């Protein structure tokens, strides 16, 4: 059971259109330290814009610590990284991909969090990488994603988490460990509305199931509505059973999933369609662009925004960060945004059409499902993801 903290102020940021200006302004106002963790940092217009802001901060004497994932950011040009380092920005890669470890099962233990903390006074958590919203194939519409701007008591946990991870990785990579850290500003300004929320982290040691359990607890308490929007949806048996049980007790369960095939795990998702549809779960596929969201709203009161997909790679292998919120105003804002995405760019999967038709797609989905199950078993997680 997660512990919700009072006296937080959260602002929902929709897509890079809202997130990147907010992040950039926070960086430009920084006076002491900046910690930025991301899976992908792209050398495009957005990446160069954020990099410029980071360099300007470093030139002012701000300590800047940039943590990139070794797989997600493996194609970031060396000249780009060296330019950051020459500006006195500390750049570190989490588990760089090398030839000798390319086929290691630990290769998939990634740093998938998208987190920023500036001066211990403002933070950001979400699913948005440092990549342009329009960096999508086929000149599609911008990808759909979310982040949360954070002030208040939750900053203590967030700041401690980025400090702790940087120290640990610095020790392993024989780097100098920062000796001083900024104490977070946890007191909420009087003009800001307090919200109950919690930072939920996932790692491979003490918090392996925290994010999954937060979902399961909320689903078990759902009374009338569950909306989940998730880019890579490949749930284990616990999550599947929880959703089916919720639907059977009268809860309206709606899944907004990625309609465009980007990775094979999306094909495996189709293996669950028939069973979900038979139990009354509504499935929508977002086709207007790429839907990169990792969010949910339950009973217009509970909500989560973060980096964690509902798949074995996020829930069992990667470092992830989600924010859980208990607030009707915040939840309704996210809910309305999701319903708008369904209306503007999604197609509902029809139960009769899917179950009676799509024979080839269903056979392919089960084939890919079997391959992924085998890989999960190879990593030693087969029993946990059975079903």
For the annotated catalytic residues, the residue numbers are 112, 114, 119, 292, 294, 299
Secondary structure (H, E, C), 65-94: EEEEECCCCCCCCHHHHHHHHHCCCEEEEE
Strands in 168-218 per DSSP E: 195-202
CA of 357: how far to CAs of 120, 274, 286, 362, in Å?
Answer: 54, 11, 20, 9
Q: Which residues pair with 10 in a beta bridge?
A: 150
Residue 64 structure tokens = 């800047």
Cα angle 191, 13, 297; round to 5: 95
**Burial class of residue 89 (count of CB atoms within 10 Å of its CB; 0-12, 13-18, 19+):** buried
Q: How many C-beta atoms surround the C-beta of residue 83 within 10 A?
A: 15
Contacts of residue 201, defined as CB under 8 A and 6 or more positions apart, other chains included, come to 113, 161, 207, 210, 211, 319, 320, 321
The candidate with the shortest Cα–Cα distance to 37, out of 291, 307, 233, 231, is 307
Q: How many C-beta atoms surround the C-beta of residue 127 within 10 A?
A: 28
Greatest CA separation for the chain: 64
3-state DSSP call for residue 334?
helix
Q: Phi then psi for 7, rounded to 5 degrees?
A: 60, 50
């Amino acid at each position: 059971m997660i512990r919700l903290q009072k006296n937080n102020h959260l602002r929902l940021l929709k897509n890079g259109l809202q997130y990147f200006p907010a992040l950039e302004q926070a960086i430009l106002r920084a006076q002491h330290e900046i910690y930025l963790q991301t899976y992908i940092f792209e050398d495009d217009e957005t990446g160069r814009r954020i990099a410029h802001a980071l360099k300007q901060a470093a030139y002012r004497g701000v300590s800047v610590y940039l943590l990139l994932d070794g797989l997600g950011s493996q194609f970031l040009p060396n000249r780009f990284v060296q330019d950051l380092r020459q500006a006195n920005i500390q750049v570190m890669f989490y588990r760089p991909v090398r030839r000798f470890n390319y086929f290691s099962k630990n290769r998939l233990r990634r740093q998938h969090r998208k987190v920023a903390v500036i001066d211990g006074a403002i933070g950001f958590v979400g699913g948005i990488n440092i990549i342009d919203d329009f960096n999508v194939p086929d000149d599609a519409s911008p990808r759909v994603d979310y982040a949360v701007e954070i002030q208040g008591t939750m900053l203590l946990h967030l700041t401690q988490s980025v400090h702790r991870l940087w120290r640990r990785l610095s020790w392993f990579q024989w780097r100098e460990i920062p000796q001083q850290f900024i104490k977070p500003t946890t007191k909420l300004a009087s003009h800001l509305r307090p919200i109950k929320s919690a930072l939920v982290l996932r790692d491979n040691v003490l918090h392996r199931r925290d994010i999954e359990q937060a979902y399961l607890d909320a689903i078990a308490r759902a009374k009338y509505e569950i909306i989940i929007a998730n880019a890579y949806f490949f749930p284990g048996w616990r999550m599947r059973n929880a959703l089916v049980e919720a639907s059977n007790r009268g809860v309206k369960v709606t899944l907004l999933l990625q309609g465009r095939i980007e990775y094979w795990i999306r094909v495996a998702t189709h293996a669950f369609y028939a069973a979900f549809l038979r139990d009354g779960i509504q499935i929508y596929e977002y086709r207007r662009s790429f839907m990169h969201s990792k969010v949910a709203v339950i009973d217009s009161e509970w909500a989560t925004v973060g980096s964690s997909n509902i798949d074995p790679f996020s829930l069992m292998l990667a470092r992830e960060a989600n924010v859980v919120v208990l607030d009707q105003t915040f939840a309704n804002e996210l809910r309305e945004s999701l319903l708008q995405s369904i209306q503007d760019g999604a197609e509902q999967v029809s139960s009769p059409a899917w179950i009676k038709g799509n024979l080839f797609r269903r056979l392919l989905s089960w084939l890919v499902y079997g391959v992924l199950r085998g890989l999960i078993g190879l990593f030693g997680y087969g029993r946990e993801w059975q079903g």
